Structure 1
Amino acid sequence: MRQILAGTVASRGMALGRARLVQPSRYAVDNRPLAEDEIGSELERLHSALDTARLELRELRGKLHGALAREVNEFIDAHSLLLDDPELLRGLDDLVKIGHYRPGAALKKQRDKLAAVFEAMDDPYLRSRKEDIDQVIARVISALQRQTSAEERKLAARVGEILIADSIAPADMAHQAGNGLLGVVGSSGSAYSHSAILARSLGLPMLVGTRDALSSIHDDDLLLLDAEHGEAIVHPTAQDLARYRAWQRESVAEGRRLATLANAPTRTRDGRDIHLLANAESTTDVALARARGADGVGLYRTEFLFLRRKSLPSEDEQFIAYRDLVIGMGGLPVTIRTLDLGADKADASGLALRGEDNPALGVRGVRLSLRYPAVFTTQIRAILRAACYGPVRVLVPMVTQPDELIAVRTLFKLARTELEREHVDLPEKLPLGAMIEVPAAALNVRALLDHADFLAIGTNDLAQYVLAADRGNDALDNIYNPLQPALLRLIAYVITSGRRAGRPVSLCGEIGGDTRFTALLLALGLTEFSMHPSQLLLVRDRLAGLDRSALRKAAISLTRAATHEDVETLLAHMDPGFGPVASG
């Protein structure tokens, strides 16, 4: 039966796929007792679900090969044995026939009984196998509760999966994206979370705050994810599918039109040239940036060299990565951000610090780098060596006060002196910039400009700190909103201060690549945007339809607004293409 679930759009797009629940144990269980005349049919449903679960495991085993098969087959075998366990099966039948339990309730009761046995075991390994019970029962409940018709199952078999979860970690999403993931529906979460940002970068449609998703959607349900209108449609009708096909045709046509802008100049309707830069952390990002006509790299994240490894990267490893980046951009300017790790993530690289109660406000970014000058100097040397291959700027993250920039400059001078003694080729100059993401840095930006050659506004963290609201907390969506006047005033102040000091100012936060905010940022005076390469053509197209001179006249009204609702109203008058920013 068709059902529409409403959610908040976190990443636009549409997808048609079969649902895959990440937390199937949260299925609702019907505890009403069975009537005598229902027992036979419900037993058949239970046995059919058990057969489906067995078939799924056999099919899964057949799909796995090589090292992955060796790793996973042990668990598949354990699950298969459980599904044929006489005690489990006899207990289930008795609960239905004698206890008048419905199949779902019987499965849950058997799960609780067996789990208690495992939990009472002294052996830690045997205790841990309770997870097998959970996963097997969840698989059977999944099969039991599917409501797909034979026709839907045929269609679902030809399409990929849409994840249904309470929330999904960015790492899990990245892994799934490489395995045919089509979209994500979250029952909680925020449109400003790291996962939402990643979904937009990957081009995956995503809804968050879809409250009834886990209780209303079942594994293998056919699902139309409409992240254009904020809906997840379970068991879509022929009319729904026709609308999806029309959207696909329109998307293809729009993609072709945007592709023609790859080598076009970035210019507003009134003729003002704007610089579009790319945020990057991989060779794929760099290639996409070049292909879509980026003016350079505005933010290159170096953390990927340090994460997911047990030892620190050597100077040569870093040098090769930075050199390839510079060469890959073919003479266009590249901004390399120094290591931006927090102490909560640094252990993986051997930069272990005592646990911090609040890592977001702890030893991270430049604070961590200056605490480990030897490690930082290795990175500095690698950057200096790579800067001979093309124009490079260095961006320092989490700057709070001028003495941090002074300390970084001192380390660069010392490293340069060392490399000169080693007769290493070095660049004539290497501009040093400050990332403005700490409120103190924004408020005291004029003092920082005495020591910074350029500025980059990191709105993701700046908004979080200014508003004292975790961007991943969906309960704070009414507060964490990029249109909050306090945040806009700080952004405008930093841009104006940089312009008066003759220093370039870019914005590399998430809103830089979101076309809903393009007119707003132009109004605040921004002329240098940095974003994920996938957004470059969209923003270029958006800018071509905006009159910067007219928008600039509205800057004072925007920064004097009292609430983010007032800002939305002003933007709607200034920019007919503006769409409201959804809150949870």
Structure 2
Amino acid sequence: MRHVFAGHGASRGMALGRARVRQAHALEVVEQHVPAARVQEEIVRLRTALEAARAEMRALREKLHGALSQDALEFIDLHALLLDDPELGPALEELIRQHRYSAGYALRAQRDRLAAVFERMDDPYLRSRLDDLDHVIGRIHAHLHRHNPVPRGTAGEVLVCHSVAPSELAQLQAQGVVAIVSAAGSPLSHAAILARSLHMPLVVGAAEALARINDGDVVMVDGEAGRVVLEPDADDLRTYRQRRQEEARERRGLERLRSKPTRTRDGVDITLLANAESAEDLARAHALGAAGVGLFRTEFLFLQRDALPDEDEQFHVYRDAVLRMSGRPVTFRTLDLGADKADRTGLSLGNEDNPALGVRGLRLSLLHEAVFDTQLRAIARAAAYGPVRVLVPMVSCREEVVIVRRRLRRAVAAVRRRGVEVATPPLGVMIEVPAAAIGAESLADAVEFFSIGTNDLVQYLLAVDRNNDALSDLYSPLHPGVLRLLAHVIRAGTRHRIPVAVCGEMAGDPWMAPLLLALGLREFSLHPGKLLELRRAIRECDLGRLLARSEQLLQARDRQAIERWLAEARRG
């Protein structure tokens, strides 16, 4: 019998399929002890389960790093980091030694202890991270008891569950699962953000659906409206078919833009560059007509390994990227890690109270000069095979640029002494520290290009953690102060005749295109998967009309006024 369950739309799209209901494996509730002679055996069981979970996360990240944006991959990295947390491995072993708990019960006891700590926190965002902890503990528990922690789905199924982890979503999609309905969760959760990146319909907060839907039931999911329809009727199916047809037409329309120029309605060409960190990213960027790579992330070479990559290993990766782009420029960003990840590379920094404002980006490179010089030499060698640029993250002042310029020239000279004739690559800086943005005039004549990292710039400018769900209303690139600072940076670059690109999530949002064009931006650097949507949005813009209204945009007093400006701009 037809029934409609209400939830919250977390990722748009419609899907129809048979339900697969998944109940979570419960952690051991009854206190269990082991004989003293078996304590070491339990510790070995725990270590084996932890290592299996780590290996699983490493394999998953390697499999997905060409398919997802860097921001999406960070949610998977979070679970990998939790597996290395001292509150899990070492603390669990201590519980087994002291109390002779079974490994399974130690997991339960430690989970309850940590949950009590999380629940006492004043910050709602930190309290909500208990979900991430539960998913990681559940993964360890599954390996302990030899349950398969890899989610199982069949093509055409809708997964109905209590909750879903970010690390599961891509696996489920690869198995053919068409949508997910969860009893818990929020549209602002990590899983919801990743579902949107994967274009997988997701409804959260649908507890009644989990209670009443059975395996094999036919369900229709509307990820935009937050509706789950059990046993849909003829009208529901007609609506479903119409929506699917609309989505198919939209996809076909985008495909036709592959070979079209990125040109506004009034004939102004705009440059679209790709963000990349894998061969898959580069192939997509090339196929979809990107003018080059505006940001090639190099961190993956340094993560999850026992030894730092040497010059030859880095050179081969960089050369491959240059060759794959067939003469289109590739911009290599130097190592951009903070204390939260640097320890996993062997570049130990110790604990930092506030890693977001600590030793990261260029600051880390200048603390480890030999590592920095090795990377610069590898990039310089790759420049013999095609156009290359060097982009430096987390720059605060002109003095840092002078130091980098000197080290880059030294790296090029070292390569030339080996008989390889290369030019010094153009040097650019990430504008993500507010001081660098405000001082853009003094930086513009010291470099060859700017790349504005809006993700970090916005959070630093507004003093808001962009991953804090509780502060999501405050984190907004549409804050008037943000727009005025962006305009200031773009104008500084224009006056000094250097290209300025935006490379944060803002660049990949088609809705933002009219706004950025009105501010004077002519280069966008974004995930390859979003290139066609942005090209379509730009082709619908009349640049002359946008520029005529740019002062009105910069005079806006609040976010609502900017949103009204955007709505009017999109109406043409």
Query: Cα 1:297–1:199, aligned 2, differ >3 Å: closer, same or farther?
Result: farther
What's the counterpart of residue 125 of structure 1?
Answer: 103
Shift of 1:567: 0.8
For the 8 Å contact 2:392–2:428, the answer to whether it is kept is yes
The alpha-carbon deviation at position 495 of structure 1 amounts to: 0.9
Q: Is 1:457 matched with 2:452?
A: yes
Are the counterparts in 1 of residues 5 and 208 from structure 2 also a CA contact under 8 Å?
A: no
Structure 1 pair 120/386, CA: closer, same or farther in 2 (3 Å)?
Answer: closer
Mark the CA change 1:324 to 1:157 in structure 2 (over 3 Å): closer, same or farther: closer
Structure 1 position 295, deviation (Å): 0.9
State the 1:232 CA deviation: 3.9
1:202 aligned residue (173, 198, 207): 198
Aligned residues: 467
Distance of aligned partners of 1:469 and 1:130 in 2 relative to their CA distance in 1, 3 Å threshold? closer
Contact between 1:164 and 1:213, CA under 8 Å: does it hold in 2? no
User: Among 488, 500, 508, which residue is 1:505 paired with?
Assistant: 500
Match of 1:444 among 434, 439, 442: 439
The answer to whether residue 325 in structure 2 is matched with residue 329 in structure 1 is yes
Deviation at 1:226, TM superposition (A): 2.8
1:355 aligns with 2:351: yes
Aligned residue for 2:258?
Answer: 262
CA contact (8 A) 1:161 1:180 kept: no
Residue 245 of structure 1, CA deviation: 2.8
The range that moved more, 297-306 or 415-424, is 415-424
Rounded to whole Å, the distance in 2 between the matches of 1:182 and 1:468 is: 38
Q: Deviations over 1:7-60 (max 9, x none)?
A: 365x5433345466686769xxxxxxxxxxxxxxxxxxxxxxxxxxxxxxxxxx
Which deviations, in whole Å up to 9, do the C-alpha atoms of 1:529-566 show, x marking residues without a partner?
11111111111111111101101122111122111111
Aligned to 1:250: 246
Amino acid at match of 2:485: L
Question: Structure 1 residues 495 and 254, CA, compared in 2 at 3 Å: closer, same or farther?
Answer: same
2:62 alignment partner in structure 1 = none
Q: Does 1:420 align with 2:413?
A: no
Report SS of the residue matched to 2:236.
Answer: helix
Say which is worse superposed, 379-388 or 413-422, in terms of deviation.
413-422
d(CA) in 2 for partners of 1:308 and 1:474? 28
Change (3 A) 1:306 1:5: farther
**2:554 is aligned with 1:559:** yes
Q: Counterpart of 2:501 in 1: which secondary structure?
A: strand
Q: How do residues 90-489 of structure 1 correspond to structure 2 at under 5 angstroms?
A: 122-123=100-101, 125=103, 127-128=105-106, 159-162=156-159, 168-169=165-166, 171-183=167-179, 187-188=184-185, 198-206=194-202, 210=204, 212-213=205-206, 216-217=209-210, 224-227=220-223, 229-235=224-230, 237-238=232-233, 239-426=235-422, 428-489=423-484
Distance 1:562 1:135, change over 3 A: closer
Match of 2:563 among 568, 579, 582: 568
In structure 2, relative to structure 1, the CA distance for the partners of 1:190 and 1:396 (3 Å cut) is farther
Conserved in 2, the CA contact under 8 Å of 1:458 and 1:507? Answer: yes
SS of the counterpart of 1:248? helix
Aligned letter for 2:156? V
Question: In 1, distance between residues paired with 2:444 and 2:365?
Answer: 21
| Separation in 1, partners of 2:300, 2:177 | 23
C-alpha contact (below 8 Å) 1:190/1:473 kept by paired residues: no
- Rounded Cα–Cα distance in structure 2 between residues aligned with 1:188 and 1:206: 10
Cα deviation, 1:253-293, whole Å, max 9, x if unaligned, reads 22222212111111001111111111111111111111111
Q: What is the Cα deviation at residue 182 of structure 1? A: 4.0
* 1:422–1:120 distance in 2 versus 1, CA, 3 Å: closer
Query: Does the 8 Å CA contact 1:19/1:222 hold for their aligned counterparts?
Result: no
Q: Is the 8 A contact 1:397 1:435 kept in 2?
A: yes
Query: What residue number does 1:2 align with?
Result: 3
Pair 1:243–1:353, CA change in 2 (3 A): same
Question: 1:576: Cα distance to partner?
Answer: 1.6
How has the CA–CA distance of structure 1 residues 303 and 120 changed in structure 2, closer, same or farther, with 3 Å as cutoff? Answer: closer
Match of 2:536 in 1: 541
Tell me the CA shift for residue 355 of structure 1: 0.8
Q: Which residue of 1 aligns with 2:14?
A: 14
Contact 2:155 2:178 in 1 (8 A): no
Partners of 2:138 and 2:191 lie apart in 1 by 25
Q: Which amino acid aligns with 2:199?
A: G
Cα pair distance change 1:247/1:352, threshold 3 Å: same
The offset of 1:124, in angstroms, is 5.3
Secondary structure, counterpart of 2:373 in structure 1 = helix
Q: Distance in 1 between matches of 2:162 and 2:420?
A: 53
Contact 1:506–1:526 (CA under 8 A) maintained in structure 2: yes
- For the 8 Å contact 1:164–1:185, the answer to whether it is kept is yes
Q: CA offsets per residue over residues 38-94 of structure 1, 9 Å max, x none? A: xxxxxxxxxxxxxxxxxxxxxxxxxxxxxx9xx79xxxxxxxxxxxxxxxxxxxxxx
Which residue is 1:580 aligned to?
Answer: none
Residues 166/430 of structure 1: CA separation in 2 closer, same or farther (3 Å cut): same
Q: 2:38 corresponds to which residue?
A: none
CA distance in 1, matches of 2:225, 2:286: 33
Q: Distance in 2 between matches of 1:411 and 1:25?
A: 56
Distance change >3 Å, CA 340–CA 183, structure 1 → 2 = farther
Matched, 1:514 2:509: yes
Contact 1:166–1:189 (CA<8 Å) still a contact in 2? no
158 and 340 in structure 1: CA distance in 2 versus 1, 3 angstrom threshold = closer
For the residue of structure 2 that corresponds to 1:298, the secondary structure is strand
Identical columns (%): 46
**Matching residue of 2:119:** none
Q: Is the CA contact (8 Å cut-off) linking 1:201 and 1:532 kept in structure 2?
A: no
Letter in 2 for 1:433: G
CA distance in 1, matches of 2:568, 2:275: 31
Offset, 1:246: 2.4
1:340 is paired with a residue of what secondary structure? coil
Shift of 1:324: 0.9
- SS state of the match for residue 571, structure 2? coil
Any conservation in 1 of the 2:398–2:446 contact (CA below 8 Å)? yes
Distance change >3 Å, CA 259–CA 498, structure 1 → 2: same
> TM-score when scaled to structure 1?
0.72
CA distance in 2, matches of 1:157, 1:249: 23
Q: 1:563 to 1:181 in 2, by over 3 A?
A: farther
Q: 1:402 to 1:162 in 2, by over 3 A?
A: farther
Give the Cα–Cα distance (whole angstroms) in 2 for the partners of residues 266 and 442 of structure 1.
27
Distance 1:163 1:483, change over 3 A: farther
Q: Do 1:184 and 1:206's aligned partners in 2 also have CA atoms closer than 8 Å?
A: yes
Once the two structures are TM-superposed, the CA of residue 424 in structure 1 deviates from its matched residue by: 2.9
- Which 5+ residue runs of structure 2 have no aligned equivalent? 28-48, 54-95, 112-136, 143-152
2:304 aligned counterpart, secondary structure = coil
Q: In the aligned structure 1, how far is the partner of 2:415 from the partner of 2:160? A: 51
Question: In the alignment, what sits opposite 1:50?
Answer: none
* Structure 1, gaps ≥5 residues long: 27-67, 73-117, 140-155, 578-584
Is the alpha carbon distance of 1:406 and 1:216 closer, same or farther for their aligned partners in structure 2, counting shifts above 3 Å?
A: farther
8 Å CA contact retained: 1:160, 1:182: yes
